[in-house]
Amino acid sequence: MFRNVAELVEIADNENILISDVMIKQEMEVTERSFNEVFEQMNKNLLVMEEAIEKGINEKVTSVSGLTGGDAVLLQKYIKSGKSLAGDFHLDAVSKAIATNEVNAAMGTICATPTAGSAGVVPGTLFALKHKVKPSRDQMVRYLFTSGAFGLVVANNASISGAAGGCQAEVGSATGMAAAAIVELMGGTPKQSAHAMAIALKNMLGLVCDPVAGLVEVPCVKRNAMGASNAIVAADMALAGIESRIPCDEVIDAMYKIGQSMSLDLRETAGGGLAATPTGRELEAKIFGASPIK
């Protein structure tokens, strides 16, 4: 039905429907399922996200390696202290993004959006919005369809894999997906959603994938936090009427080309970046019981 963001926006505008509607129709066509079946499946995904967030913000979830855990709880306590500089909504989204990825690192159940390593950004922003603007359950499910529409374009035209394109392809894509979905939930136009995606992704270009000890924990969890923050700002900019000078599809294409030019050491191999720092190597040796790689 649509191959790129331009076609996605054009269909939504021509038929006077939401981007989420376009994605639902696409899913119905591809899977040969009814509207109710498609919608209910996405609602089940939403339930998985909700359970992961509740666990992460209410318990000190710790990974087996001990590299991550408890940061979402710390942020929730900090929000309640009334001392935050970024604002309660902003940090709530960040904490819930962290919560999701801490649950993932602890081998809990999450919903990949678009990957497990970038699974915090979309639900983190969504459940912060739930607290702030009180959307209906249907609106929350539609948020996921809107995110999915933009994620589908990236997957089909570039990459959502850190091994193929660096973290820009994972957390970067998730950030753009969330930004676009925020715009629709807040009443923005399909074109504004596309601009939000472009603005968000532009600011993630070149982000490498350098997991310490090869585990999806450091710096992955905190990158999801920054992705949630980036998505909120990009959405606000688009809703204010600010446009990306580079069209969304061209930003996605640029991301793909940048990923292809990255050294293999910076594409999920733990061969470079933060993974190759002295502390990164010491942590790797501690976890796996080997001598640090020099």
Q: What pLDDT sits at residue 289?
A: 87
Question: Are 195 and 248 contacting, i.e. CB atoms less than 8 angstroms apart?
Answer: yes
pLDDT digits (tens, 9 = 90+) for 148-206: 999 999 999 999 999 999 999 999 999 999 999 999 999 999 999 999 999 999 999 99
pLDDT digits (tens, 9 = 90+) for 7-34: 999 999 999 999 999 999 999 999 999 9
Determine the Cα–Cα distance for residues 158 and 248; give it in Å rounded to an integer.
12
pLDDT digits (tens, 9 = 90+) for 99-133: 999 999 999 999 999 999 999 999 999 999 999 99
Domain ranges of the chain: 5-48+133-288
Would the pLDDT of 271 be above 90? Answer: yes
Q: What pLDDT sits at residue 291?
A: 61
Question: Are 111 and 48 contacting, i.e. CB atoms less than 8 angstroms apart?
Answer: yes
| Share of residues in the chain with pLDDT > 90 (%) | 97
Answer positive or negative: Cα dihedral of 255, 258, 259, 260: positive
pLDDT confidence of 269, banded at 50, 70, 90?
very high
Q: What pLDDT sits at residue 1?
A: 85
Write the Ramachandran bin of 216: left for phi over 0, alpha for psi from -120 to 50, otherwise beta: beta
Cβ neighbours, 10 Å, residue 45: 16
Answer positive or negative: Cα dihedral of 98, 105, 261, 254: negative
**This prediction's pTM:** 0.97
The predicted model gives 222-240 an average pLDDT of 98
Count, residues in the chain? 294
